[in-house]
Amino acid sequence: MGLKELVLLRLAKRWISGVDLASAAADAKNANARGLGAIINFLGEEIEDPATADSHAGEYLRLQQALSDGGIRGAPSVKLTQLGLLISRADAARRLEGLLSNAERLNQWAWMDMESSQFTAQTLSVYTEALERHRNLGVALQAYLRRSESDLGGLLDKGAKVRLVKGAYREDHGLVFPSRSEVRASFTRLMGMLFERGDGFAIGTHDPVLIEGARKLAESKHANFEFEMLKGIRDDVKDELVSSGYRVSEYLPYGDQWYAYSKRRMTEHPSNIWLLLRSLV
């Protein structure tokens, strides 16, 4: 790794655990020590050859074993295109099946991330098929997509476990709510459905208005849920929620594809760029 990459990696460590499995396991242990669960993603997506998809699946199997060996309270969160969805839906579903059987054997949970809208329908159909065999599986749903309210209704009918997030990809205007306030309103509607009918769901946001909304619903509905937040963002809120008695998990990405992920987090909130530049001097 060159000097420039080393410096960037040091900065990116605000959002990622590191490049290897050992750093993710160590970070997950730290999260547990702070009272947080760990949700771990091996970075990479839109894999275009079967050998790489196999090696990503193998990495998740090693991760699951490391969580078990280390007595770590945590779960992997996997993207279907890193298991080869672009090449073959059947093979991606088969690789997922391997991870889910392993999770069951180790008495662990697993999550599926949601990617850009071209993969939404396939991700949800692979998820619901897998859910028939494995109850220890949740899927992310994006509040910015107009289709999500109808998707959530169908998912709840099937007893799905959903992690609600705003959504992180650039999408065609017709598919998504155009303004931040409409995305927040959609999140609020979907969150209401989850508190009404969901079980074992997750509220994945750092938005103080939505967190407050979830706390209010939790007081009246007594649902089984947790808050989930990304590494490096709003640590103060995570700690406060834990001390108020809520379950909270931290999402910890790792792997050598750290640059694209960190860029996404940086551009989401450009003030981060100044923070990073300041930390350099």
Ligand X SMILES: Cc1cc2nc3c(=O)[nH]c(=O)nc-3n(C[C@H](O)[C@H](O)[C@H](O)COP(=O)(O)OP(=O)(O)OC[C@H]3O[C@@H](n4cnc5c(N)ncnc54)[C@H](O)[C@@H]3O)c2cc1C
Of 65, 77, 72, which Cα lies nearest the Cα of 34?
72
Contact between 211 and ligand X by CB under 6 A: the answer reads no
Chain-centroid distance, C-alpha 33: 20
**DSSP for residue 115:** -
- Least distance CB 55 / ligand X (angstroms): 21
Contact between 157 and ligand X by CB under 6 A: the answer reads no
| Amino acid letter, 222 | H
| Binding residue for ligand X, selected from 142, 148, 186, 262, defined by CB under 6 A | 142
Contact between 147 and ligand X by CB under 6 A: the answer reads no
Contact between 169 and ligand X by CB under 6 A: the answer reads yes
Contact between 117 and ligand X by CB under 6 A: the answer reads no
113 is annotated as an active-site residue: yes
- Contacts for 225 with CB less than 8 Å, ≥ 6 apart: 194, 195, 198, 200, 201, 202, 203, 214, 218, 247
| Whether 242 contacts 35, CB under 8 Å | yes
Of 169, 113, 178, which Cα lies nearest the Cα of 141?
113
181-210 footprint of ligand X as x/- string (CB under 6 A): -----------------------xxxx---
| Binding residue for ligand X, selected from 57, 230, 241, 252, defined by CB under 6 A | 230
| Whether 52 contacts 45, CB under 8 Å | no
| Active-site pick, 27, 95, 151, 163 | 163
| Binding residue for ligand X, selected from 62, 133, 216, 269, defined by CB under 6 A | 269
Contact between 268 and ligand X by CB under 6 A: the answer reads yes
- Least distance CB 168 / ligand X (angstroms): 4
Contact between 258 and ligand X by CB under 6 A: the answer reads no
Contact between 251 and ligand X by CB under 6 A: the answer reads yes
163 is annotated as an active-site residue: yes
Q: Pick the stretch among 66-74, 90-98, 189-197, 226-234 that binds ligand X (CB under 6 A).
A: 226-234
Contact between 87 and ligand X by CB under 6 A: the answer reads no
Question: How many CA atoms, within 13 angstroms, populate the side-chain half-sphere of residue 5?
Answer: 9
19-38 footprint of ligand X as x/- string (CB under 6 A): --------------------
**Radius of gyration over alpha carbons of the chain, in Å?**
18
Where are the alpha helices (H) located in the chain, listed in sequence order? 3-12, 21-33, 50-69, 89-105, 120-133, 148-157, 180-197, 208-221, 235-243, 258-268, 271-280
Residues in the chain: 281
Q: How far apart are CA 105 and CA 257, in angstroms?
A: 29
Contact between 234 and ligand X by CB under 6 A: the answer reads yes
| Whether 230 contacts 251, CB under 8 Å | yes
Under the rule (CB under 6 A), what is the footprint of ligand X?
A: 113-114, 140, 142, 165-169, 204-207, 228-230, 233-234, 251, 265, 268-269, 272
Looking at the annotation, which residues are catalytic? Answer: 113, 163
